[in-house]
Amino acid sequence: MLNLLLSFLLAQTTPPAPPPAEVVQPQQVRPLPGRLDSIPTFNSNSPELVLNEGILLSTFPAAGKKVPSAHLNFPFRGRFDVFAHHVAKAEPPENLRSLYLGILLHNPTSQPVRVNVLQGASYLSQPDAPFIELPAFSQNNLGNVFAGPGDRVMSDILRGRRQNIFPAQIVIPPGQSQMLLNQPIPVKGLTPPLNGRSTLVRLQSNGTVYVASLALFARTNPDGSERAPTLAEWQNLLDNGDVSSPRDKTPTPLEETGKPRVYGRVAGVGDGAQWRAFIVDNPKAKFLTIPQPGQAFSYALSTLHGGTLGTGQIQSARLLVRYPDTAYRAHGNYGIQYSLKLPLYNSSPQSQTVSVSVQTPIKEDQLTQPGLRFFTTPARQVFFRGTVRVRYRDEQGKSQTRFIHLVQRRGQPGEPLATLNLKTGDRRLVEVDFLYPPDATPPQVLTVATQAN
């Protein structure tokens, strides 16, 4: 009680902190070349906080289902991705049962379907990947630097890993279903009793499959211990259940309404899994001329409605199907891989030092000044927390591959991923790859800067 009173008195006598000072970096912002591919992404992120059993996302046909509106009738075939990001909380606090996340694959055909698991990872916040304070810039070649389950999952997939909870292949008999994932989100023993799980799996099927993500509480054994739900129990929920509630905030329409913008959480199938870009001076060029000494230019990353940084480009994946109370597009592109190639060219008569970096400017739709706005002291909110791979050849011609973990707060300029010395006439390819991590807040930019002579 004394501490509470002291805090109250301190709040009355301490003037509010002034907003952090801003600085404008005069750098041109360009739309990102390339586009998303057409690999469909099953995106299960609404409701993010799952308090009750139910269907999170079903692409099954509605026929024969008790609640037809819970099923979106979207078949997958060939390459597709499955992304899921959900949080469990004890509600009421004494209800400490584990919530299970199930991802079910169904073969509607008369022939067996083989589903190859190309890469896959699924982690909990506790104990797999707690949110811990990390430096703004860390070498992460071993993959052991992460904060949060989404951060760790994206790092694994970037390295091409398949976690051992996933088999290399699943064979689904005709007309039957198999579980891709059946894992708990435990809350017992945690303070507060809150936990999350992030999952991304890259799949290749030789036939048609339907996918559903589902939530069930752990079943109880005769001795009182918990057990995972069975395939039959998952199937019963799919056939007879409704979408899990309470629901997330309903998004505002994409068109300007004059009201505060609510993007909403995603529950649908996104159109695209990877954005490839060959970044050159113009569509007919073969290289990217570096900026003049002391200057920089940037390419927008993960832009969205109301946050295009003056480019007018919206990179958020469109949704092929969605629940009507969830996001209109895959804002933030969680789990989407950006693969960017920059064939840098020094056309100046002197050697130049050029850097490539990821930055998190203050979000704007139209730039109010000719440049990007940053805070002199970055804000408290972490807007990007993830691993970036950068590849290039050094001055000796040796191939370099570096994995760098970034933590960027709102309005933070960021440190260079790579710094290269280019002689006059030199050309050097720099490749930047990352998967946009859950819990990040767009937009970001990729900046090329030349040091002043």
* Residuewise pLDDT in 10s, the chain (453 residues): 333 333 333 444 455 566 679 999 999 999 999 999 999 999 999 999 999 999 999 999 999 999 999 999 999 999 999 999 999 999 999 999 999 999 999 999 999 999 999 999 999 999 999 999 999 999 999 999 999 999 999 999 999 999 999 999 999 999 999 999 999 999 999 999 999 999 999 999 999 999 999 999 999 999 989 999 999 999 999 999 999 999 999 999 988 777 889 999 999 999 999 999 999 999 999 999 999 999 999 999 999 999 999 999 999 999 999 999 999 999 999 999 999 999 999 999 999 999 999 999 999 999 988 899 999 998 999 999 999 999 999 988 899 999 999 999 999 999 999 999 999 999 999 999 999 999 899 999 999 999 998
Question: What is the pairing mode between strands 416-422 and 169-172?
Answer: unpaired
* Tokens found for residue 248: 């997330």
In the three-class reduction of DSSP (H, G, I as helix; E, B as strand; rest coil), residue 237 is classed as: helix
* Euclidean distance between CA atoms 300 and 29, whole angstroms: 7
Residues 218 and 312 in one domain: no
Amino acid letter for position 62: A
Q: How many CA atoms lie within 13 A of 27 on its CB side?
A: 28
What is the chain's length?
453
Residues 179 and 290 in one domain: no
pLDDT number for residue 216: 98
Residues 325 and 285 in one domain: yes
pLDDT number for residue 16: 59
Range of the domain at 167: 47-240
- Residue 443, preceding peptide bond in cis (omega within 30° of 0): yes
* Tokens found for residue 195: 């936990």
- The residues pairing with 30 across neighbouring beta strands, listed in sequence order, are 299
Residues 337 and 214 in one domain: no
pLDDT number for residue 256: 73
Q: Is 135 within the bounds of a domain? A: yes
E strand or H helix at 128: none
* Euclidean distance between CA atoms 316 and 362, whole angstroms: 18
Its pTM stands at 0.93
Q: Is 260 within the bounds of a domain? A: no
Give the alpha-carbon dihedral of 403, 404, 406, 412, to 10 degrees.
-130
Residues 119 and 31 in one domain: no
Residues 337 and 388 in one domain: yes
Residues 217 and 317 in one domain: no
In contact, 102 and 229? CB cutoff 8 Å: yes
In the three-class reduction of DSSP (H, G, I as helix; E, B as strand; rest coil), residue 240 is classed as: helix
* Euclidean distance between CA atoms 313 and 5, whole angstroms: 50
Q: Is 1 within the bounds of a domain? A: no
Residues 289 and 224 in one domain: no
pLDDT number for residue 3: 39
E strand or H helix at 260: none
* CB proximity list for 397: less than 8 A, separation 6 or greater: none
Residues 200 and 348 in one domain: no
pLDDT number for residue 5: 31
Q: Comparing C-alpha atoms, which of 340, 436, 344, 353 is closest to residue 390?
A: 340
Residues 100 and 235 in one domain: yes
Q: Comparing C-alpha atoms, which of 209, 332, 322 is closest to residue 268?
A: 322
Q: Is 150 within the bounds of a domain? A: yes
Q: Is 248 within the bounds of a domain? A: no
